[in-house]
Structure 1
Amino acid sequence: MQPRQVTVLGECVADVFADARSGPPDPDGQGATAEPAQGLRLHALPGGGPANTAVGLARLGTPTRLLARLSGDVFGRLFRAHLLASGVDLTDAPAAAEPSTLAVADVDAGGQAAYTFHAEGTADWQWTRGELERAGLGGAACVHSGSLALVREPGGSLLEEFLTCARPRATVSIDPNVRPALVDPAAYRRRLPSWCAVADILRLSEDDLRVLAPGIGVEEACDGLHAAGARLVVITRGAHGAFASLDGRTVSVPGVPTRVVDTVGAGDSFTAGLLHFLGERDLLGGRLERLRPADVAAACTFAVRVAALTCAVAGPNPPWAHQVPPDHSEKGAPAEIAGDGNRSRPGR
């Protein structure tokens, strides 16, 4: 069936990469670039966790609306063109006078990216109550948010308020996407209980979990997040797949072997795949009352495939629906679903 609309709320960030063909000359003269006088060339791609998720959802076939403050600068125009070309609805995205946020990526030999952010006074964090009230929830079955827009002020508190108001009518999904280089991890830890209280779905990476709950095992951490309110907690494990806990009933799915170009946007693509799968099966729109561990396993398996395809290309470039192979084309270990046991608890 056609999924119902998902509204994504958050930032657009220009992911800036160094062009490997340019750079400063080698001081020893052994590896000097062909054009040292031109310095370091940079290549900018449209990104940002929420924007990447919106693009991934729209390309998979979910009607998707993005609420993001789009600058009128050169990067803002890049965002707008990219989002519209992917099928994202920008009708309610406010035009912003402030500049766009930049994230300069330093990608290592294994494809992992570390970021330096240029984010002070930029458009993404300057939300006003009036802008959000004019946008409203619309007919969304799910509202997804997270990343920097949910933790940076002055807009973060207003976005959290928007999610709380959306909850009576929509499933709420949050991806904290922890960025300790830009925001003190203590700020995430302070906000996490309130995010769990409003979120039906909480998606974290293993790196996020290490920052938010240092020294705590995955299952114990999930139990704490459930106790704070989140029904479905999903932990992505990179090449090792994903672990999920639905009210304490756990699911593990394996990774998909792929040739990694870089991992930029992989987690966002996973979230898009997860929400698309659940929406296509009419499991969004409430408190996940009809969701079962087998549904979670299938959704995570699909999401892992979507993320793997993103890793196989440069930058945050999620696949279109026709590029995602059907289940039977993928080989590997099946999902592991734990029995209900003593860890499961009633849904809220």
Structure 2
Amino acid sequence: MQPPRQVTVLGECVADAFADPASTPPRTHPNGSSQDGRGLFLHVLPGGGPANTAVSLARLGTPTRLLARLSGDVFGRLFHAHLLESGVDLSDATTAAQPSTLAVADVGAGGQASYSFHAEGTADWQWTREELARADMRDSVCVHSGSLALVREPGGPLVEELLARARQHSTVSIDPNVRPALVDPALYRDRLPGWCAVADILRLSEDDLGAVAPGIPPEAACDSFHAAGVRLVVVTRGAHGALASLDGRRISVPGVPTRVVDTVGAGDAFTAGLLHHLGGRGLLGGRLGHLEPADVAAACAYAARVAALTCAVAGPNPPWAHQMESEHSNSLAQGCS
């Protein structure tokens, strides 16, 4: 394995607020008596699909630059510290006057999270052509984007333009990360053929696939994405692993058993693991001309391990490289016992 070259990630940072009813303080009445309160505390973690992917890539050891619009508010300062602590390069990030985007997460019994967004007029979507032109993409082996950055106005079309330019010298990776609570899935369906024409790698969850290709079997959906131009499609299936399709050649990868705390950031971690593994083997940097099914299987298996470790902790908190090595060593030891 060779040292991975730089990956640039473009997209939003979102403040993920999680309800914590167990921490509700008691309510005090004017007469001095108290009873259990019915208020709700929220604890906030730095998130957002592209930012999560950048953090995971950097922690795994890939030099990673994030192009983001970071607010100067309290959440923006939280993002800034979190990204730098994880090793993400913010030298081309834009300081924005607008507030940060906030998502309130409701985590169900199975660890799945649903979100309500507070995103109108926030910093993440206000890209200008001048801001995006400042970053030189020629030193990036891969440019990754997706999620709301591709569909929110006014910045979405400008992000698409940047990806089209980046394709001249970099592998392009896209994760639609469909958010039906904020954007009509029909918009994703309308834009997806154009994204496939630009992207070399398309990663979707099963839920994403159901939104952009309702009623269509995964294999048939993959074939339609290939016909539109993308070479590698990966559909993640949670505990059931992933289905990958390389120019129509199918690869099935099992899931990694884990104790799930929540699934927040798991898909982003999978994408990062996939790109990190491919980059470490010199397979990024163009149109994936040397990529073989065995390479895809190995990269997806590694990515599944990254996602599993992310699910084993609360919030979007992907593993570091040393944790991946420790987990792999433990697995080998258990296999030999």
TM bucket by the smaller chain?
A: over 0.9
Cα gap change, 1:74/1:226 in structure 2, threshold over 3 Å: closer, same or farther? Answer: same
Percent identity reads 77
Give secondary structure in 1 for the equivalent of 2:21: coil
Look up the match of 2:273. Answer: 273
Contact 2:125 2:149 in 1 (8 A): yes
CA RMSD of aligned residues (A): 1.8
Look up the match of 2:12. Answer: 11
Q: Take 1:328 and 1:169, find their aligned partners in 2: how far apart are those partners? A: 39
Amino acid paired to 2:253? V
Q: Take 1:131 and 1:277, find their aligned partners in 2: how far apart are those partners? A: 30
Look up the match of 2:31. Answer: none
Q: Take 1:181 and 1:89, find their aligned partners in 2: how far apart are those partners? A: 31
Question: What is the correspondence of 1:236-247 to structure 2 with a 5 Å cutoff?
Answer: 236-247=236-247
Q: CA deviation at 1:136?
A: 2.9
Question: Which of 299, 310, 328 matches 1:326?
Answer: 328
Look up the match of 2:30. Answer: none
Question: What is the correspondence of 1:183-202 to structure 2 with a 5 Å cutoff?
Answer: 183-202=183-202
Amino acid paired to 2:85? A
**TM value normalised by structure 1:** 0.91
Structure 1, unaligned runs of 5 or more: 27-32, 333-348
Give secondary structure in 2 for the equivalent of 1:215: coil
Q: Take 2:221 and 2:133, find their aligned partners in 1: how far apart are those partners? A: 35
Give secondary structure in 2 for the equivalent of 1:36: coil
Cα gap change, 1:49/1:331 in structure 2, threshold over 3 Å: closer, same or farther? Answer: farther
Q: Deviations over 1:147-200 (max 9, x none)?
A: 001110100000000000000100000000000110011100010000000000
Q: Take 2:166 and 2:50, find their aligned partners in 1: how far apart are those partners? A: 17
Give secondary structure in 1 for the equivalent of 2:153: coil
Amino acid paired to 1:266? A
Which portions of structure 1, spanning 4 or more consecutive aligned residues, are displaced by more than 4 angstroms?
Answer: 23-26
Cα gap change, 1:141/1:19 in structure 2, threshold over 3 Å: closer, same or farther? Answer: same
Look up the match of 1:344. Answer: none
Question: What is the correspondence of 1:55-94 to structure 2 with a 5 Å cutoff?
Answer: 55-94=55-94
Give secondary structure in 2 for the equivalent of 1:135: coil
Amino acid paired to 1:186? A
Q: Take 2:231 and 2:330, find their aligned partners in 1: how far apart are those partners? A: 29
Q: CA deviation at 1:135?
A: 1.8
Give secondary structure in 2 for the equivalent of 1:21: helix
Question: What is the correspondence of 1:191-270 to structure 2 with a 5 Å cutoff?
Answer: 191-270=191-270
Amino acid paired to 1:166? A
Q: CA deviation at 1:24?
A: 9.0
Amino acid paired to 2:97? A
Q: Take 1:138 and 1:146, find their aligned partners in 2: how far apart are those partners? A: 20
Contact 1:178 1:185 in 2 (8 A): yes
Q: CA deviation at 1:19?
A: 1.3
Question: What is the correspondence of 1:21-36 to structure 2 with a 5 Å cutoff?
Answer: 21-23=22-24, 36=37
Structure 2, unaligned runs of 5 or more: 28-33
Look up the match of 1:133. Answer: 133
Q: Take 1:330 and 1:234, find their aligned partners in 2: how far apart are those partners? A: 27
How many residue pairs get aligned? The number is: 325
Q: Take 2:26 and 2:60, find their aligned partners in 1: how far apart are those partners? A: 44
Q: Take 2:259 and 2:312, find their aligned partners in 1: how far apart are those partners? A: 6
**TM value normalised by structure 2:** 0.94
Contact 1:22 1:35 in 2 (8 A): no
Q: Take 1:331 and 1:263, find their aligned partners in 2: how far apart are those partners? A: 27
Q: Take 1:221 and 1:164, find their aligned partners in 2: how far apart are those partners? A: 23
2:294 counterpart of 1:297 = no
